[in-house]
Amino acid sequence: MRDTWQLQEAKNKLSEVVRGAHARPQIITLRGKEEAVVLSYSEYQRMTGKGSAKTLLDVLDGLPSGFADIDLARSTDMGRNVEL
């Protein structure tokens, strides 16, 4: 199955383009230049992270390595005494 389509042909065979997107992304060209990509909805969700709830631990695990040195320890200071 193909994965690159000229725009006019993609319009004429949209059903085939969409079916092909389930196997791999479909590239659409305009005047010989790659202009757009058709993805399956599940691939779109995977790429954007939409549709899957992330826990705080998932978010922290995904941070760049430079954030690993941040001290996340909580202070044991109870604050100051205030008379009311």
Tens digit of each residue's pLDDT (9 = 90 or more) over 36-75: 999 999 999 888 877 667 788 877 777 777 776 777 788 8
Instruction: Give dist(CA 61, CA 73) in Å, integer.
Output: 17
Reported CATH class of domain 4-63: alpha beta
What was the pLDDT predicted at 51? 66
> Domain ranges in the chain?
4-63
Instruction: Give dist(CA 17, CA 38) in Å, integer.
Output: 8
Among 1-15, 20-34, 47-61, the range scoring the smallest mean pLDDT is 47-61
- What percent of the chain is predicted at pLDDT more than 70? 94
Instruction: Give dist(CA 21, CA 10) in Å, integer.
Output: 12
Rounded to the nearest 5°, which phi and psi values hold at 38?
-105, 125
